[in-house]
Structure 1
Amino acid sequence: MVRKIKNTKTADQRRIEAETMQASIAEQVEQLRNSDAWMKYLEFAQAFHRYSMGNLLLILAQCPGATRIAGYRTWQNLGRQVRKGETGIRIFGGRSVRWTEEDEKTGDETERSTVRFFPVSVFDIGQSDLTDPEAEDHSTVAHKLTGEDPQGITNAATDYLTGKGWTVSREPISGSANGYTTTDGSKQVVIDQALSPAQAAKTALHEAAHVILHSDQDAAEYIEHRGIKETEAESVAYIVAGILELDTSAYSIGYVAGWSQGETEVIKETAARVLKAAHQLAEAITEPAEEKQAA
């Protein structure tokens, strides 16, 4: 039996509520951008460099839940320590090599250079801990939810995805992500088993949004535009959860701000796709509204 959530709102009520909530995301992100927490988060984020598409694909293949990657020493410099026993993510590092080449006939010297690649190990932030447990963590502005899932959102989203041919499981996730949706055609959704019921519910909606919006895209396209993809998926989760009386703003607003880099125009530009997916998901996981009997 497919588990669905009892519906107490009409389609028009859900539509108006969804539009209001979508518009509020940009407003709340704007407020966050003016906070000290955002400035400290940006300072932390600036310590990371961009990886090539090839390396990003390697990272995704080895650790689908990875979100922020750095080398062992970099994490130490940022006040974090990679935990003993963690397995590194193997990628390729590059080093510029220069040499002087002499022409055998003329004796002229020419400067040559190339980049030599070699395997290196990097680690996700989820594989590290703060060296000072009392220190304030500025690595995120998204705060995980606590509490329950009284509406049964996780079960309803799971049944929806299963009905679409996806496998949904609760497993330990290596890395800092709360869940992930595979992009290799295996049609798997994994949600971290350690999450609170409320956070698991929000994550289930987030991954369902990825399935609706992005499952037909290959890994390279997903990585290239990941900021937009994550902004869209979390916006859908925030809206649908809100319609179902689960407030995820403590996590969702910071998450959207981070992946959109605080650019409210990105949020506004995704509105049409987000609202369409939110309506589709909300309708799929709720029971049809009961028609009122005429007096």
Structure 2
Amino acid sequence: MNTTITTIDSKKPHTKQELVATNIKLLIEQLEAGHSEALTNYLTAMSRFHQYSFGNVLEIARQMPSAKRVAGFWTWKNLGRSVKAGQKGIRILAPVVGVRRKKDAEANKDITKQNERVLLGFRNAYVFDISQTDGVELPALNEVTGDPGENIERLAEFLNSKGIQLVYSEKIAPALGMSYGGRIAILPGQSKAETFATLVHETAHELLHRSERRTATTKTARETEAEAVAFVVGKAVGLVNEEASASYIQLYKGNASLLAESLEVIQQTASVILAALEPPIAEGVTSEELEAVAA
């Protein structure tokens, strides 16, 4: 029997800029209608798909807020799973890469660099969530539930590699953590989960707010962005509950461009931190398998 796969095919943005603009417009419509949970859905998607571009994260969150692990039709096949008949694909934009041939005179100078790969544009591509598939159980990715495990140590190593000093000090009480620009202080005596969340929050300040931004930000916006990064990272390692993001509505104050900028830097910063927390590949699980599941 032939399996029929249908795809979502409504008004389609065709560039990254259109993708972001379309989703930000829809998000604002939901926020102005009182649906603050829409922003939580986008932040949750960032925690699950941090290897995707900002625009594609927005697309996945809009089309299937419940998606947890997505891949293309043939990637699922190669992993021993099949997309169920009649399932609708989640549309994303995939890059189209070509080869630009250099002029003979230029190429002859260095034969190893005769051609270069260039981005030609984007094409429609469709991915499916694991809930839309049947088949063999996949290798479990390394996730932590309720306990940050080694992630505190990994984050400390990341900060050290960036030249950011980490200290524990009771002098900052009642604050749980402080970011000084090149130095982070954490209040001792917190639980491991609280220590990790605080450390991520202050790391976000170091990465987000110690460099130039296109636009000025308020203290409230900076705190909300840092807390949103902590939510995304915490969600990715199983530490944050669904109620923790109620205040993120403060990212939107009637300005679509500022909201888009905040969400993009949140996604990028969370991606940097999550990449630093990547554990060694589990024994028996190849890097290709992990990349295929995340792609």
TM over 0.5: no
TM-score range, shorter chain: 0.3 to 0.5
Higher relative contact order by CA 8 Å / sep ≥ 6: 1 or 2? 1
Higher Rg of the two aligned structures: 1
- The alignment's TM-score, normalised by the length of structure 1, stands at 0.42
